């Protein structure tokens, strides 16, 4: 009876060892005598013990933090930059067979790509064009990991840490830029005002009666003022008429 029980127990062990349960978010890579044979989907899968082995691969989106990297920008500013990479396995057989450790390989590639891409840009671009830099890094990573069966879905730069001395220099630069823009706006305003005055002078020259109305309006403003001294502007044609009258009297 003992000799019969041992083979029976061994058979039961083989039956249980033949079944593998693959979860919905996993894929099973099956090797037959060490050679890749198939990729199994979710559910109960049957394999031949000893002859076949199964390696499970998680195909969910992974989140990989890129530690702070020392980057020297194109304008020779030293910064520390960290980021996060989102990726998933789209070809489980490639991820297992073509790279030893696809998680470590993707992390190392993301670090070197981050330094390489940011080193080609100036500090202003790092601070203002972050979306463009994210897309550039994602495109490079996605193209290089395509052969590993990995799809990079997103890259986000989290922090750009600048040396405190550089922060003060950037603040001075920003202040100088604001002053420059204020002067430009002031000069443009004076230029537009001069243009309007020139147009007004042309209109007044064509219509002398308009100048008289303007003179009366200005006189009213001085009259209503609270000051003790009132200055009365005199039109040039009246002044020239008075001078001409005096000249005629002297001549007579």
Domain definitions of the chain by residue range: 12-58, 62-162, 165-218
Angle at 74 between CA 69 and CA 77, to 5 degrees: 60
pLDDT at residue 180, as a whole number: 86
pLDDT of residue 242: 53
pLDDT score of 117: 92
**Residue 102: which of 138, 59, 137 has the closest Cα?**
59
Res 56: pLDDT: 94
Tens of each residue's pLDDT in the chain, 252 residues: 555 666 767 667 677 778 888 999 999 999 999 899 999 999 999 888 888 899 999 999 999 999 999 888 888 888 899 999 999 999 999 999 999 999 999 999 999 999 999 989 888 888 888 899 999 999 999 999 999 999 999 999 998 888 777 667 667 777 788 888 888 888 888 888 888 877 776 766 666 656 666 665 665 665 665 655 655 555 555 555 555 655 655 555
**C-alpha to C-alpha distance for 26 and 42, rounded to whole angstroms:** 7
- Please state, in angstroms and rounded to a whole number, the distance separating the CA atoms of residues 213 and 236: 14
Report pLDDT for 227.
57
Do residues 142 and 86 make contact, with C-beta atoms less than 8 angstroms apart?
no
**In this predicted structure, what is the pLDDT of residue 187?**
86
Indicate the fold that domain 62-162 takes in CATH: Tetrahydropterin Synthase; Chain A (3.30.479)
d(CA 58, CA 200): 78
69: number of Cβ within 10 Å = 17
């Amino acid at each position: 009876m003992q000799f019969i029980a041992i083979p029976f127990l061994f058979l039961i062990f083989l039956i249980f060892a033949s079944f593998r349960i693959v979860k919905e978010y996993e894929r099973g890579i099956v090797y037959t005598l060490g050679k890749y044979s198939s990729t199994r989907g979710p559910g109960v899968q049957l394999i031949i013990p000893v002859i076949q082995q199964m390696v499970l691969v998680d195909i969910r989106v992974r989140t990989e933090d890129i530690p702070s990297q020392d980057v020297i920008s194109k304008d020779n500013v030293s910064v520390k930059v960290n980021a996060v990479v989102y990726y998933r396995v789209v070809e489980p057989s490639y991820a297992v067979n073509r790279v030893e450790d696809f998680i470590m390989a993707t992390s190392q590639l993301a670090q070197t790509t981050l330094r390489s891409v940011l080193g080609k840009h100036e500090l202003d671009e790092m601070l203002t064009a972050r979306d463009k830099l994210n897309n550039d890094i994602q495109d490079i990573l996605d193209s290089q990991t395509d052969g590993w069966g990995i799809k990079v879905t997103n890259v986000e730069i989290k922090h750009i840490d600048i040396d405190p001395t550089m922060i003060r220099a950037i603040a001075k630069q920003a202040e100088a830029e604001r002053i420059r823009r204020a002067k430009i706006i002031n000069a443009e305003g004076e230029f537009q005002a001069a243009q309007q005055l020139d147009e007004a002078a042309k209109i007044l020259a064509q219509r002398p009666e308009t100048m008289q109305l303007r003179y009366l309006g200005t006189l009213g403003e001085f009259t209503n003022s609270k000051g003790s001294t009132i200055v009365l502007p005199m039109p040039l044609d009246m002044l020239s008429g008075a001078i001409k009258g005096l000249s005629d009297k002297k001549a007579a």
